[in-house]
Amino acid sequence: MKINVLTLFPEMFSAVTGSILGKAAEKGILEFNFINIRDFSREKRDKADEYPFGGGPGMVMLADPIFNALESIEAEGKRILYMSPRGRLLNEESIKELAGNEELTILCGHYEGVDQRVLDYWNMEEVSIGDYVLTGGELPAMVLIDAVARLIPGVLAGEESAMEESIYSGLLEYPQYTKPRSYRGMDVPEVLLNGNHKLIHLWKFEESLKLTRKVRPDLFERFLENHGELTKDEQKVLEKVLK
Ligand code: ADE
């Protein structure tokens, strides 16, 4: 997958390229293209923003540098996302859909946003990562990139991606433990040490159900409405949790 990012702060993206995603880029599974919008300004001192017409606080990003940057990557007809608290909220479903694209282009806004004509002309999809406001679109873009990239085959180890399709999908993850078996008087649940994979699986399922019900009743309700086929034992576990 190719990911173009238009930003005033390309250096921030070392947080992405320095991690697992950087390794995926080295392997050729991902291709990143970070474009500094300021490089495409034709104003004095590479100015990229101006006061808004009609007044109001803050600055608005100029249309021209963004148009020039998009034209430099021949973005006509391409799917372009604009990170904005005004956008459609991301969730795992929309992330999956985005992961199916060969190429994505992401515009990161700053200050009070961008000239509306950028969004209109390039038919941009506004995307939000949550109902709170950040100082810019860079961190949201990194959240989106990370969530999308981990669904692309080869980016993560096989076992982790397989989880997506299991009965756990839609539930919060069960607790995890590693060595030592006993730490400061706290013991690892016995069931995880006995090597009985069926019992371990049922324990994990039960823990996921209990946790989801407690912390995210909305997700739990959704799971009840459309979970996949359950085995007899899984059904029993679910009934026990519902009691
Ligand atoms: N830019 C600023 N806040 C944002 C948010 N919550 N989501 C996406 N982009 C943003």
Q: What is the pLDDT along the chain (243 residues), one digit of tens a residue?
A: 999 999 999 999 999 999 899 999 999 999 999 999 999 999 999 999 999 999 999 999 999 999 999 999 999 999 999 999 999 999 999 999 999 999 999 999 987 899 999 999 999 999 999 999 999 999 999 999 999 999 999 999 765 665 555 566 789 999 999 999 999 999 999 999 999 999 999 999 999 999 999 999 999 999 999 998 999 999 999 999 999
Pocket flag, ligand 1, residue 134 (CB < 6 Å): yes
Pocket flag, ligand 1, residue 16 (CB < 6 Å): no
Q: Give residue 220's region: left, alpha or beta (phi > 0; psi -120 to 50).
A: alpha
Mutational pocket test of ligand 1: of 95, 134, 145, the residue with most ligand atoms within 8 Å of the beta carbon = 134
Atom of ligand 1 nearest to the CA of 133: 3
Mutational pocket test of ligand 1: of 61, 129, 144, the residue with most ligand atoms within 8 Å of the beta carbon = 129
Nearest CA to ligand 1 atom 7: 128
| Distance from the alpha carbon of residue 7 to the mean position of ligand 1, in angstroms | 14
| Distance from the alpha carbon of residue 137 to the mean position of ligand 1, in angstroms | 6
What is residue 157's predicted lDDT score, i.e. its pLDDT? 76
Q: pTM for the full model?
A: 0.92
